[in-house]
Structure 1
Amino acid sequence: MPTATPVTQTPRGLIAITVSSVAWGLFPVYWDALSTVPPNTVLSYRIITTMVTMVLVLALLRRHRSFLAAVAKLWKTKTLVLLAVIAALLISANWLLYIILVSVGKTLEASASYFLMPVMNMLIAIIVLRERTNVFGWISIALAGVGVCVFIVGSGGVPWLGLIMALTFCGYGLLKRFIPLDSLQSITFETAAVTPLALLWLVWQPHFGIDHQSTGILVLLMGAGIVTAIPLITFAYGVQHSQYLTVGFVQYINPTLQFLSAILFLHEAINHTMLLAFCIIWLSLAVYSFALIARHRHASRRKLASSAPGDV
């Protein structure tokens, strides 16, 4: 089995990964500014402008030839092509559900979903990939379940959109394990794969869905690809220059800022029961993080013991 290339953490890597998490955490403010535009239209412009931006980025980085070579190699295996297209549909659904949640004033639900994703990924790994976890992993899963139940009580209903959004991203992440494209190549391929659908939607709309919109709204729609691409690019750099545990911890900035954005900037109401739900989910993440640290230390000790010279 191939081993991962050792990563040396650098200040630039930490800054890059932090920039990504902060940008994603502030996304609700951006999509809320586009609340006058139908979510399907916002998604369509986001897909198209992201695809154009990524093509330009690959050209500027002189990676367009390697991208075409990777896609050509991918195309030889129809199963991988199918998985890549499904991944494109899943991430598009994730983007759409997120935009809908923000537009209807449920950013807190989206934030809770992103907090739950690490635990949901662990549960999927156990069920689908037959991976094992320790007692702390099961405690984390149980606490996350309790947190969801309390959130249901506090919000007055099952957060279906948020849970489906989380599942689409978890499924997307699972498929990415099998698709031989790096982060820049994959987002370019995925947005290109669904661009025809986005174009069809816009052509079907009167005046391409932007009739009577202000200049500011048009600028935000055209800039959707840039604000999508920048954190993806910095994330791709950051994971190559940061330790895996660091990446995991810093990514908690994203849902935390979503939570704060919902309350401070979008003025969403939160009651005591919902706040309790977030506290339980945060506790679940703390246990999950402790389990990761314990596993990392155990693996490090085993590696150190196996590499130590034998007794003479």
Structure 2
Amino acid sequence: MNEQTKKGALYIFLSYLLWGLFPIYWKMLEHVTAHEILANRVLWSFVSMVLLLVFTRKLRDLKATLQTMKEKPKQAAALVIASFLVSSNWFLFIWAINAERVIETSLGYYINPLMSVLLGVFVLKESLSKAQVFSVALAAIGVAIITISYGQLPWVSLGLAVTFALYGLMKKTIQVEAAVGLTLETFSVTPIAVAFLVYWWSKGELLLFSGSFSTDVLLMLGGAVTALPLLMFAAGAPKIPLSMIGILQYITPTMTLLLGVFVYQEPFSVIQFVSFSFIWLALVVFTLSQTKWYQKRHLITRKQEKGSA
């Protein structure tokens, strides 16, 4: 492993670790409604990203991208849709954390890679290997078990998985540098966030600048906290193989699960463990199917099948 790969792996590891520790941050704001946290997160993320672009002298890139968006309305529409999807994902995550459903959020991010596979099949018309079909089937069994246990679909987990997978799908159609992309995404929804903040202020329901100093600081720093792991990910991703990213991504839901069980002491029943076990097994199979060894073997098998036919 060369120095560039090591540096890339470190950036990706730290980004996933920070995402996994997000529940700790949002728990410190559990006295604030999820709606106000989200509005502040959007606003201060936009402010943080603009300051970053000024500091890194990338405002020209932002202007150039805006010009491109004018010429390519489909990309602009995809970016706006992506901004609403990621905002929905943020809201659901924040709400779930402060509703003591941390474990359910971890399940959502375990399911997410498999949800992306399904979108690839049904939207992009991609084909699946036998191993990938098997992994999706195992995950479906896991979700079915927890659905029967709850008496309803695990809508928090599925909501997080679906919104983030759709966000990833939209991002595939947008060729924009990471920092510029996040700036434009937050810009798209900032007017709505500001409108809500002004409305709550007029009703005397806004905690920002009317509550404690620590609350103000946490709400405003939510922007920088949001941007930091995204920028680390953007810096590290080009330096390491996609297969390594695929393995490291499970750091986030694993950290969240450990926090839910051992720090916040949420109940983790035998049924939940069985359900998670099916999903963990599905992810092992899925991750193996992404390795060069499996893909090479799969290609040889297909050639042999064609030859015998």
Deviations 1:90-144 (A, max 9, x none): 1100100111111111111111010001111011101111111111000000000
* Counterpart position of 2:174: 179
Q: Is the 8 A contact 1:107 1:262 kept in 2?
A: yes
1: CA distance, partners of 2:245 / 2:188: 29
**Cα distance, 1:9 vs structure 2:** 5.2
**Cα distance, 1:213 vs structure 2:** 2.8
* Counterpart position of 1:254: 252
**Cα distance, 1:160 vs structure 2:** 1.2
Tell me the SS of whatever aligns to 2:231.
helix
Task: Give the alignment partner of residue 231 of structure 2, picking from 227, 230, 233.
Answer: 233
* Counterpart position of 1:136: 131
- Give the TM-score normalised by structure 1: 0.90
Higher alpha-carbon deviation: 144-153 or 223-232: 144-153
Map 1:88-99 → 2, pairs under 5 A: 88-99=83-94
1: CA distance, partners of 2:294 / 2:168: 21
Structure 1 position 83 matched with structure 2 position 74: no
* Counterpart position of 1:54: 49
Q: Which amino acid aligns with 2:159?
A: I
2: CA distance, partners of 1:208 / 1:57: 31
2: CA distance, partners of 1:164 / 1:106: 13
Tell me the SS of whatever aligns to 2:291.
helix
Structure 1 pair 195/208, CA: closer, same or farther in 2 (3 Å)? farther
Q: Which amino acid aligns with 1:209?
A: L
**Cα distance, 1:8 vs structure 2:** 8.7
Tell me the SS of whatever aligns to 1:254.
helix
* Counterpart position of 2:261: 263
Map 1:17-56 → 2, pairs under 5 A: 17-56=12-51
Deviations 1:189-214 (A, max 9, x none): 00011000000000000357216632
2: CA distance, partners of 1:175 / 1:8: 32
2: CA distance, partners of 1:130 / 1:47: 33
Q: Which amino acid aligns with 1:63?
A: K
- Give the root-mean-square deviation of aligned CA atoms: 2.0
Map 1:151-166 → 2, pairs under 5 A: 151-166=146-161
Q: Which amino acid aligns with 1:275?
A: F
**Cα distance, 1:150 vs structure 2:** 1.4
**Cα distance, 1:165 vs structure 2:** 2.0
**Cα distance, 1:153 vs structure 2:** 3.0
**Cα distance, 1:151 vs structure 2:** 1.7
* Counterpart position of 2:63: 68
Q: Which amino acid aligns with 2:15?
A: S
Q: Is the 8 A contact 1:9 1:243 kept in 2?
A: no
* Counterpart position of 1:123: 118
**Cα distance, 1:276 vs structure 2:** 1.1
Q: Which amino acid aligns with 2:143?
A: V
Tell me the SS of whatever aligns to 1:130.
coil
2: CA distance, partners of 1:56 / 1:132: 43
2: CA distance, partners of 1:124 / 1:28: 27
Instruction: Report sequence identity in percent.
Output: 33
Q: Which amino acid aligns with 1:281?
A: I
1: CA distance, partners of 2:280 / 2:195: 42
Query: How many corresponding residue pairs?
Result: 296
Tell me the SS of whatever aligns to 2:223.
helix
Structure 1 pair 9/280, CA: closer, same or farther in 2 (3 Å)? farther
1: CA distance, partners of 2:231 / 2:294: 27
Q: Is the 8 A contact 1:8 1:242 kept in 2?
A: no
Q: Is the 8 A contact 1:154 1:271 kept in 2?
A: no
Q: Which amino acid aligns with 2:206?
A: G
Task: Give the alignment partner of residue 189 of structure 2, picking from 185, 189, 194.
Answer: 194
Tell me the SS of whatever aligns to 1:209.
coil
Deviations 1:136-180 (A, max 9, x none): 000000000001111223344321132122111111111111112
Higher alpha-carbon deviation: 90-99 or 210-219: 210-219
Structure 2 residue runs without a partner (length 5+): 301-309
1: CA distance, partners of 2:35 / 2:243: 36
